[in-house]
Amino acid sequence: MYWKGWQAFLPDSAILLIDCPDRPGLVAGISEFLYRHGANILHADQHQDNELGLFFMRVEWSLDGFDLDRDAFLLHFASLASQFGMRWRLEYSNDRPAVAVFVSRYLHCLVDLLHRHQIGELSCRIALIVSNHPDAERHAAFHGIPFSLQTVRADNKADAERRQMELLDAQGIELIVLARYMQVLSPGFVGRFRSRIINVHHSFLPAFSGAKPYHAAFERGVKLIGATSHYVTEVLDEGPIIEQDVDRVSHRDQVGDLIQKGRDLERVVLSRAVRWHLQHRILSYANKTVIFD
């Protein structure tokens, strides 16, 4: 069951995301185009990377009174985009993309995402849960979500990923969330879903990457423990970072305490990353991200 929550009270809107070389007239040109077609702008945010000479923008407007539908917008905006050398995409707030959640044995992030989805915090349709262990099946059944158990070993990894991609294609999956999925995806798999796979790493990257970062952090005697959400790339744990958070660590804390604190952080940073992605607030470039307010 899915409740639309507070988002049900918001007007349907369109969101335009742009990145291009920075030059005078960009904001004026975009604003004038939207004004000419009856747009009532709800939010606008921009960023300049002065070192690389790049411009980034997110603008959202109400569809009430706007005189261009999706196809017409693509046609009419193309000339302005070409003039300024824009990379751009148009999104709509009332779209509900299909999401797949991959998980192994640690279920805290999955359960948190399912709860947030149920109360309407995540604007999507969780269409599939995939796991290499059976532990999550009961949660999928409770929420009425299809569950696929895919055993992954070194000798069947390619076949397992082929079956997974068939399931993803059948469900029209647009975003994959790795909610503590303890398998490394192949470059071919990642390439199929570039900038559409979000992972949570149980460490404040780039420190303490690898399989047991809390143990490594404990041995190092850290005073802060962290977690990181990031887009997945072909290089393990080095994709563009979306969100990070930390908690203080005492000398009294043992490994178990660090793990407990870390799990709380993992839930928060992963849910934020997924929510921002679904709200079309993220642009990636140069292995970094711009997160629009």
Which tokens hold the place of 286? 């140069």
Rounded CA-CA distance 57/45 in Å is 6
Q: Which residues pair with 130 in a beta bridge?
A: 102, 148
Nearest alpha carbon to residue 205 among 287, 286, 110, 116: 287
What's the chain's length in residues?
A: 293
- 253 is known as an active-site residue: no
Q: What's at 268, amino acid-wise?
A: V
DSSP 172: T
Active-site entry in 169, 237, 245, 293: 237
What is the rounded CA–CA span in Å between residue 22 and residue 200?
Answer: 32
Residues 164 and 168: their CA atoms lie apart, in Å, by 6
What are residue 275's DSSP bridge partners? none
Active site members: 237
